[in-house]
Amino acid sequence: FSQIVDVALIEAGFEKRGEIIRLVQTLRGGDRPKNAHVEFDDVTVMPRSCWEPWGLFRKPCEGRVQDNLRKWKTGGLRRIGAEQPFCDVIRSAPTRAVERGIAPHPSLKPQAFMRQLVRAALPLGQGVVLDPFMGGGSTIAAAVAVGYRSIGIEEDSEFYEMAARAIPRLATIALTAEESPVGPGRRRAADAMQEKLFR
């Protein structure tokens, strides 16, 4: 599915700048053959899903990145800290029950993950986050939580109403130091994850 979205965005004029990998173990995949799971108990039909690809695109720069940063406040990603760049692999838990209780959207993403992405999206911390498929409001709530202006668009009136109710509550969910998009806890978590990945 991700390659279909990639092609559409590239054909619309955006540049692919890489992917963000969300490391998360879900319930998708890992099943034995249907109606033959006893006979083929050592067989998995497809791998257990343990990651999600999130395409990273940008509108082509006008000149150099530094020119775009000065003029448009965009063109790169906000660093986690002075010594820690934003990384393309983010360890994430599934969405917590408390968040699903606030916004029972079928594809709601956790605030601990979304706040990291949203914070990185505006490299100078200035601008507006646009979510054209707002769903349950997790992106807009993350923008509110990190202090960004945002606009959410949702075609489905039920989901729109759900998001309108959920955003203020999702935005105030407390995160642990390791889940926070900034600060020493985030840097320690990012460093520890990179050590595990690249040993």
Do 171 and 144 contact (CB within 8 A), yes or no? yes
Tell me the three state secondary structure of residue 163.
helix
Residues 6+ apart with CB under 8 A from 193: 87, 89, 91
Distance CA 78, CA 21 (A): 17
- Residue range 72-99: average pLDDT? 95
Residues 6+ apart with CB under 8 A from 44: 29, 30, 31, 32
Among residues 47, 6, 5, 3, which one has the least CA distance to residue 27?
47
Contacts 24+ apart (CB under 8 A), 92-98: 92/22, 92/23, 92/24, 93/24, 94/24, 94/25, 94/26, 98/173
pLDDT at 190 over 70: no
- Residue range 168-184: average pLDDT? 86
- pLDDT, one tens digit per residue, over 39-85 is 999 999 988 889 999 999 999 999 999 999 999 999 999 999 999 99
Sketch the domain layout of the chain as residue ranges: 94-199
- pLDDT, one tens digit per residue, over 153-169 is 999 999 999 999 999 99
Tokens 């010594």, located at residue: 83
When pLDDT is cut at 50, 70 and 90, the band that residue 87 belongs to is very high
Predicted pLDDT of residue 147: 97
pTM of the model: 0.85
Range in 9-18, 24-33, 82-91 the model is least confident about: 24-33
Number of H helices, E strands in the chain: 7, 5
When pLDDT is cut at 50, 70 and 90, the band that residue 187 belongs to is low
pLDDT at 93 over 80: yes
CA-to-CA dists, residue 34 to 27, 30, 47, angstroms: 16, 12, 15
Two tokens, residue 4? 């279909």
Predicted pLDDT of residue 184: 65
pLDDT at 101 over 60: yes
Do 150 and 163 contact (CB within 8 A), yes or no? no
When pLDDT is cut at 50, 70 and 90, the band that residue 198 belongs to is very low
pLDDT at 192 over 90: no
Predicted pLDDT of residue 18: 94
Distance CA 99, CA 174 (A): 11
Predicted pLDDT of residue 157: 97
Strands (E), 105-186: 128-131, 149-152
- pLDDT, one tens digit per residue, over 119-130 is 999 999 999 999
DSSP code at position 137 = S
